[in-house]
Amino acid sequence: MLTLYDFMGSGNGYKVRLLLAQLGLSYTLVERDILKGETRTPEFLARNPNGRIPTLQLEDGTHLAESDAILWYLAEGTKFAPATRLERAQTLQWMFFEQYSHEPYIAVARFWKHYLTRLSPLQELDLPERMAKGYAAFGVMEQHLAHRPFFVGGRYGLADIALYAYSHLAGEGGFNLDNFPQVNAWMARVAAEPGHVTMDHTN
Amino acid sequence: MLTLYDFMGSGNGYKVRLLLAQLGLSYTLVERDILKGETRTPEFLARNPNGRIPTLQLEDGTHLAESDAILWYLAEGTKFAPATRLERAQTLQWMFFEQYSHEPYIAVARFWKHYLTRLSPLQELDLPERMAKGYAAFGVMEQHLAHRPFFVGGRYGLADIALYAYSHLAGEGGFNLDNFPQVNAWMARVAAEPGHVTMDHTN
């Protein structure tokens, strides 16, 4: 049985829970509250020395960290994995875009606004730039989606799962996506995929 | 012929140049000075809408962005690629670690200190946290390398290339690695690999 260490409010965790549901895989969910430091305990650091959820424990006891690496592992050999060398690279391109140019702005702004009661002086000063870079990421996505239903290869796959998670939570970070009709239409297509589950779903 | 759009001072670009050299692949290098905004021109944005180097143009005209996705593409079918499903996931785990928990602190601190003549108030306030998180990333690496010669599968591969690039430039960011003997020994092993080239090398 797979064991997923996760925090239900995490979009990075939701990526993994969504793919697990669409693959029909059952798993044991172990919640770790990142707001209470539960991913920085010695017990958890022995599982993932970087102290982050999601972390997936495989049947043999091996632990995998980094949401997008976990997605890649789970999808291998299934219809959710990219099919060609070029599509594998393009899928990874969008997954690295998500972790470098999207999540640090959209997810972090959402975390600050949604979970913190007060921002630090650094966060206060940083927030406008985070918002601007988040909107820039949505601009790149909007342009790419203008003539494509999904991010890679014309079909739903790992890049869509990776980008959907925090895109669909952007409102909680104060982002207004009215000017991104392609992104909105794509999010509706993702949510209409067979086996789609919302963020509070576990199985 | 492959065409690499790159900035010679970029560690992300160096990853790609290093693997190209070790694969014995020749390519046309087109330099774009990120300090002069040369990756934000309409011509360049048509190649990579996210406006970043390295960007690799394939023989058929397709452009690939994101250094670690380019590494994955180039390595497929070679000894530098991970060999099993678990090693593929572990390699990606370390590549996503690099882009999320290493580069934004170590490379960004180096960029600020090495290339900027003056820091903004936000950068001044942010720098101590960037340094602390950079040292935390080296701590995770130090622990992992305590009983391993390379990051995944006991042999040199993509995770090492991805992590070496900015690790070996950390001094330019003001990092002192005296307390990270395993990281230093690993960097020496990487630099001793057959076909290794330094950052100023092109072929």
**CATH fold of the domain at A2-75:** Glutaredoxin (3.40.30)
Task: Give residue A202's pLDDT.
Answer: 76
Closest-CA distance, B101 to chain A, in angstroms, reads 9
The domain locations on chain A are 2-75, 85-191
**Which chain B residues are closer than 8 Å to A62 by Cβ?**
86
Interface membership of B92 toward A (CB under 8 Å): yes
Q: What is the pLDDT of residues A77-118, one digit of tens each?
A: 999 999 999 999 999 999 999 999 999 999 999 999 999 999
Q: Contact, B156 vs B150, CB < 8 A?
A: yes
> What is the per-residue pLDDT across A175-198, written as a single tens digit (0 to 9) for each?
999 999 999 999 999 999 999 999
Q: What percent of chain B has pLDDT over 90?
A: 98
Does any CB of chain A come closer than 8 Å to the CB of residue B49?
yes
**Token pair in block for residue B114:** 């090495």
**Cα gap A70→B14, rounded to integer Å:** 27
Length of chain B: 203
Measure in Å the smallest separation between the Cα of B1 and chain A Cα atoms. Answer: 16
Same fold? B2-75, B85-191: no
Closest-CA residue of chain B to A54: B93
Residue B201: pLDDT band with limits 50, 70, 90: confident
Residue whose tokens read 């090693």: B87
Asked if B49 lies within 8 A of A143 by C-beta distance, the reply is yes
pLDDT in tens, B122-148: 999 999 999 999 999 999 999 999 999
pLDDT in tens, B1-17: 999 999 999 999 999 99
Name the percent of chain A lying above pLDDT 70.
Answer: 100
The position carrying tokens 């997810």 is A107
Q: Which two tokens stand for residue B194?
A: 């057959």
Q: Name the class of domain B85-191.
A: mainly alpha
**Chain A interface test: which of B76, B93, B141 (most A C-beta within 10 Å):** B93
Residue A29's DSSP bridge partners are: A4
Is A152 in contact with A94 (CB distance < 8 Å)? yes
Half-sphere exposure of B75 (CA within 13 A, CB side): 25
